[in-house]
Amino acid sequence: MAESRRRKPFGKQRMADMMNKKIPMRQCVGCRQMKPKRELVRVIRTAEDELCVDITGKKNGRGAYLCPNRECLERAVKGRGLEHSLKTAVPKEIYEEFEKEIEKLEIR
């Protein structure tokens, strides 16, 4: 019977399992290393062209990622990694905000 030869629809579930196991990796704009997204701090450019440090990773917008440490921040400043990724000028307030955020992380 043709009916018994019909393929079982397991494809979709399998894909979902694989997606769950796969850790999303992002490149730090400071050290250029690929790291799990969760370990990085995101700086985003919103639709309104505003920049902000997005510690939760939940805001929408074009994002650039940085390791939460001063070394990578300095490299990003010098190498203009953030500017390149976000395709806009990054005011120093953003770097200061980022610095505050990593200070909070260091305290924890």
Of 72, 82, 94, 102, the one binding Zn ion (CB under 5 A) is 72
Minimum Å gap between C-beta 69 and Zn ion is: 7
Nearest-approach distance from CB 31 to Zn ion, in angstroms: 3
Q: Is 67 in the site for Zn ion (CB under 5 A)?
A: yes
Q: H/E/C letters for each residue in 3-51?
A: HHHCCCCCHHHHHHHHHHHCCCEEEECCCCCEEEHHHCEEEEECCCCCE
Sign of CA dihedral 68, 57, 99, 94: positive
- To Zn ion, the closest distance from the beta carbon of 70 in angstroms equals 10
Cα–Cα distance for residue pair 87/78, rounded to 1 Å: 16
In the region spanning residues 21 to 40, those forming contacts with Zn ion, defined by CB under 5 A, are 28, 30-31
77 binding Zn ion? (CB under 5 A): no
Residue type present at position 79: G
Residue 86 binds to Zn ion (criterion: CB under 5 A): no
Residues of the shown chain interacting with Zn ion in the complex, contacts defined by CB under 5 A: 28, 30-31, 67, 72
